[in-house]
Structure 1
């Protein structure tokens, strides 16, 4: 494959990483907001399990000191593309500027853990409800 192809793949991984972050952060915002507004879809068990799994993965990686697989994949693809920095690519530069900043690793571990605690608290504040099988359920007595 050509270096340009690796660069495109690296950008795709970066965008996927960005969307994952938006999904986890925005997911909690929507769950809490939707919980207060009584939106039924924010209590769907599959959604809540996917959201919990996403932040649990981030917290676990952080506590174990493991590099994010998406970051590792992106860096590997950039290396194959012959890129040393992100300055030459508009998409990569701006998405990385928004998503990453410099701080000691313990700061990120504390932030990820605190966010994970908020996600767990959202399960208590707005518990998920299992999907109803309306066609299989009998109507309540007296209906």
Structure 2
């Protein structure tokens, strides 16, 4: 039972991480110091998707599910299992990846504008 709970908690943490990759740059508009964490999250998330680096959260979930007597995730991984075909259609993977990249870039551009404006306001004052 405890391994099943660990696996389920890992899924929630993994979903939160994926959400943070998408919206973390916008969070940094309010809390500027979090941009460093977001840069690291994006680097990890994009390299996991584009290069195929195995995520430790996927590994932890598989380990816990196997200990609970369940099947682990398919070799395609967390996103393909929980999001593709569930949150968005399977034939939209390329579009979703593009939209995520655009959301991240827009958040970083907005962050840069905010930081520049705040710096200009300090100099003017």
Structure 2-normalised TM-score? 0.62
Q: Which structure's residues are more often helix, by fraction?
A: 2
Q: Does 2:1 correspond to 1:14? A: no
Which of 94, 104, 107 is the equivalent residue of 1:122?
107
Q: Does 2:31 correspond to 1:48? A: no
Which of 93, 105, 112 is the equivalent residue of 1:107?
93
Q: CA RMSD in A?
A: 3.7
Aligned 8 A contact 1:56 1:116 in 2? no
* Residues matched between the structures, number: 109
The Cα offsets for residues 40-92 of structure 1, whole Å up to 9 and x where unpaired, read as x24x1x21111121122111112212232211210121011101379xxxxxx
Shift in Å at residue 30 of structure 1? 4.5
Structure 1-normalised TM-score? 0.56
Which of 76, 80, 85 is the equivalent residue of 2:63?
76
Cα distance in 1, alignment partners of residues 98 and 48 from structure 2 = 11
Structure possessing the higher relative contact order (Cα contacts under 8 Å, 6 or more residues apart): 1
Tell which structure's C-alpha radius of gyration is larger.
Answer: 1
